[in-house]
Amino acid sequence: MGLLDRFKKKSGPVEEQFFAHADGKMIPIEAVSDPTFAQELLGKSIAILPETGVLRSPADGEMTVVFETGHAVAMRTKIGADVLLHIGVDTVTLSGKGFNAKVAVGDRVRKGDILVEFDLPFIIKSGFDPVIPMIVTNSDDFSIELNSCGETVSSKDAVMTLKDEKSA
C-alpha cells in the first residue's frame, strides 16, 4: 500500500463500545410506551429504566444538542455516531422542572461523565414513565450489537457495540 492509499481511508476508530447511560434495568425497546422509540423510528435504540436520577455519557464525544428543558441531549461520538438520550416519555411537558443539564453544546465529554441530573421521584410522582432511550440516529451507518437486555446495568457495563464497516 502506497502513501496515498493510507490517506484514502478514514482515520480513527472503526469500532466503539457504548456503556450504560444510567444505572437501572435494561428493557427491550419494544416495551417503551412511546411508539417513536418502541418502533425505532429515529434509529436503533436501547432503553434503561433508571434507579437513580443521573444520565451519563455512554461514550467519549462532543455534545451537539442540549434541550433547554434538560429532558434530552444529543452527542456525536468518536466513531461518528449521533446519539440522542431522552429522559422519560413526554417529560418535555414538565418544561424543565426536575432536570439540571450539566453540559452545554460543544462540550467534550468522556464515557461516564454526568450529562443531566434529574429528580426521578418527581418524574414518577408527576405520572411520567422515566425510561431513558438511547437512540443512534444515524444507525444505518453502522452494524450494531446489543448486550445485557433484561439485566440490571451500571455505567461500567458495555451495552452496545457499533462497527463502522465502511472504514475497515
Assign 3-class secondary structure to 133-151.
EEEECCHHHCEEEECCCCC
Residue keyed to cell 455519557:
57
Residue 9, pLDDT score: 44
R_g of the chain, CA atoms, integer Å: 16
Query: 160 pLDDT exceeds 50?
Result: yes
Q: Is residue 144 part of a domain?
A: yes
User: Residues 90, 95, 100, 104: what is their CA dihedral angle, to the nearest 10 degrees?
Assistant: 90
In a domain, 8, yes or no: no
Across the range 126-135, mean pLDDT stands at 97
List the catalytic residues: 86
Dist CA 34 CA 52 (whole Å) = 21
**Confidence tier at 4 by pLDDT (50, 70, 90):** very low
| 24-27, strands of its sheet edge to edge | 108-109, 61-66, 72-77, 82-86, 132-136, 44-50, 24-27, 152-153
For the stretch 48-94, pLDDT in tens is 999 999 999 999 999 999 999 999 999 999 999 999 999 999 999 99
Lowest model confidence (mean pLDDT) among 79-88, 93-102, 109-118, 155-164: 155-164
1 located within any domain: no
**How many separate domains does the chain show?**
1
User: For the ranges 2-11, 29-38, 62-71, which has the lowest average pLDDT?
Assistant: 2-11
> What's the pLDDT at 151?
85
The confidence score (pLDDT) of residue 13 equals 56
Residue 100 lies in a domain: yes
What's the confidence (pLDDT) of residue 43? 92
Within a domain: residue 2?
no
Q: How far apart are CA 164 and CA 15, in angstroms?
A: 6
Residue 128: inside a domain, yes or no? yes
* pTM to 2 decimal places: 0.88
Q: Is residue 54 part of a domain?
A: yes
The answer to whether residue 141 sits within a structural domain is: yes
Q: Which domain holds residue 114?
A: 14-167
Residue 6 confidence (pLDDT): 41
* Rounded Cα gap, residues 52 and 5, in angstroms: 49
The domain that contains 138 carries what CATH number?
Answer: 2.70.70.10
